[in-house]
Amino acid sequence: MNRHSHSDGILRARLQDVRRMLRAGDGLELSDDAVHRLKWFLFALEHGGNVSLTCRHFAIARSTFVRWAERFDAKNPLSLEDHSRCPHTVRQSQTDARAVELIRQIRNDHPVMGKVQVQKMLAEQHGVSLSVSAIGRVIGRYGFFFADTPSHRAKRQTLSGERDDDASFTSTHRADALRISDASQIQPSLFPPPSPLSGLPS
């Protein structure tokens, strides 16, 4: 057997933790990519930690598996997500201010409501049509994690830490954080975004 076939401690997650996160599904609000990475770990753990077999099965590079396995923290769902530590260019938001505010209101009133349910409420009650992935990006970008649950507390802590670690996130940026008073106007600092929001449409 190749001495590099097994994880040798690279994958620190427990099988029960990975299964629990996959069962939680939409409640954790993970992206499709993050869920796919969980499936890598599930497969590896169910096959004796065999990294080489896992990489062949999913057609991924061993270095990719190792990088995400070392990063993964079962207590922090955001550890499975892609994050730019130094975003020099912010992608223009495709979600208008009214939709962002409606999502905030829904999440504030129903903190554990998932993306699919938010999508349905937006369409049925407000006539707003957005994809599930767009709603997930809004929730993650603006930090709409209001529930007093372990996963939401971990996400709030992680987002707060990333802002503190980013040297470009100055006091001026903090003062300019979005505050939405109604569905048609954006004002500063009602809710903290996870990153500078220069990309939000005016």
Enclosing domain of residue 67: 15-80
Higher model confidence: residue 131 or residue 8? 131
The whole-number pLDDT of residue 121 equals 92
Query: Is the separation of the CB atoms in 36 and 65 below 8 Å?
Result: no
Q: What tens digit of pLDDT does each residue of 26-64 get?
A: 667 778 888 899 999 999 999 988 999 999 999 999 999
Given 80, 112, 128, which residue is the final one in a domain?
Answer: 80
What predicted TM-score, i.e. pTM, was given to this entire model?
0.45
Rounded-to-integer distance, Cα 44 and Cα 98, Å: 43
Rounded-to-integer distance, Cα 105 and Cα 122, Å: 11
Rounded-to-integer distance, Cα 19 and Cα 89, Å: 36
Domain membership flag for residue 85: no
Number of domains in the chain: 2
Given 30, 49, 80, which residue is the final one in a domain?
Answer: 80
Assign 138 to helix, strand or coil: helix
Name the amino acid, one letter, at 26.
Answer: D
